[in-house]
């Protein structure tokens, strides 16, 4: 009986976690991985928020993802109120007016259907973010993060963002 219970818990966890290898330095900057059938099924058919449960680097790596449900965010600023350096019309990065972490905001707002990395995957598959725009995103993220580890948490602010924790 105990063994069945552990198996059930393990299966539940597997349904909410997903690991996928990605090479940010590939010619398509990981676009084919992020738009793959397995990634899309995980990101768009589970809970609304897709986040990392282990940090990753902006090289050849693995994304350790989990899906969780978030119904509301403590902070819902307007895009114009995010006090960070504007890279282009859809990306803002450190330095920011508040916070000490190194961060990149992408102009994709989380909602009850898609949040965190799920918002980004949805934008890729619907064409809101093209392959070329994705390459710009990855290039800017690599410049910003350098060799630091990156996390996607997205439970504090409803805009899609990635950050490196500064101690």
Residue 152 lies in a domain: yes
Share of the chain above pLDDT 70, in %: 91
pLDDT greater than 50 at residue 3: no
State the helix-helix crossing angle for 117-126 and 37-44, rounded to 10 degrees.
120
- pLDDT of 151 reads 97
127 Rama sector, left if φ>0, alpha if ψ -120 to 50, beta otherwise: left
Mean pLDDT of 34-43: 96
Share of the chain above pLDDT 90, in %: 84
Rounded CA gap, 94 and 101, in Å? 8
* Each residue's pLDDT tens digit, 10-24: 334 445 999 999 999
Residue 87 lies in a domain: no
Q: How confident is the model at residue 98 (pLDDT cuts 50, 70, 90)?
A: confident
pTM attached to this predicted model: 0.89
pLDDT greater than 70 at residue 47: yes
* Each residue's pLDDT tens digit, 64-80: 999 999 999 999 999 99
Phi, then psi, of 93 in degrees rounded to 5: -140, 175
Residue 167 lies in a domain: no
Q: Which residue has the higher pLDDT, 105 or 71?
A: 105
Residue 29 lies in a domain: yes
Residue 33 lies in a domain: yes
Task: Go through the chain and tell me how many residues it has.
Answer: 167
Q: How many CB atoms lie within 10 A of CB 64?
A: 15
Q: How confident is the model at residue 30 (pLDDT cuts 50, 70, 90)?
A: very high
Residue 6 lies in a domain: no
Bridging pattern class, strands 115-116 and 49-52 = parallel
Four-CA torsion 38, 40, 45, 49, nearest 10 degrees: 120
Total domains, the chain: 1
pLDDT greater than 80 at residue 2: no
Report yes or no: 52 and 63 within 8 Å, Cβ to Cβ: yes
pLDDT greater than 60 at residue 7: no
Q: Which two tokens stand for residue 49?
A: 């928020």
Residue 99 lies in a domain: no
Residue 3 lies in a domain: no
Mean pLDDT of 102-129: 97
Domain region containing 150: 15-72+108-156
């Amino acid at each position: 009986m105990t063994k069945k219970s552990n198996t059930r818990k393990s299966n539940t966890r597997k349904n909410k976690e997903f690991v996928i290898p990605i090479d940010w330095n590939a010619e398509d900057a990981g676009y084919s991985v992020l738009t793959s059938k397995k990634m899309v099924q995980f990101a768009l058919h589970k809970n609304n928020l897709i986040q990392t449960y282990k940090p990753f680097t902006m090289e050849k790596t693995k994304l350790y993802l989990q899906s969780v449900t978030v119904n509301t965010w403590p902070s819902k600023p307007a895009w114009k109120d995010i006090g960070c350096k504007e890279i282009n019309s859809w990306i803002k990065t450190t330095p920011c007016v508040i916070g000490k972490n190194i961060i990149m905001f992408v102009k994709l707002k989380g909602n009850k259907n898609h949040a965190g990395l799920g918002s980004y995957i949805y934008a890729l598959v619907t064409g809101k973010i093209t392959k070329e725009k994705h390459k710009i995103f990855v290039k800017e993220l690599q410049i910003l993060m350098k060799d630091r580890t990156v996390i996607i948490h997205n439970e504090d602010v409803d805009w899609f963002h990635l950050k490196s924790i500064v101690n």
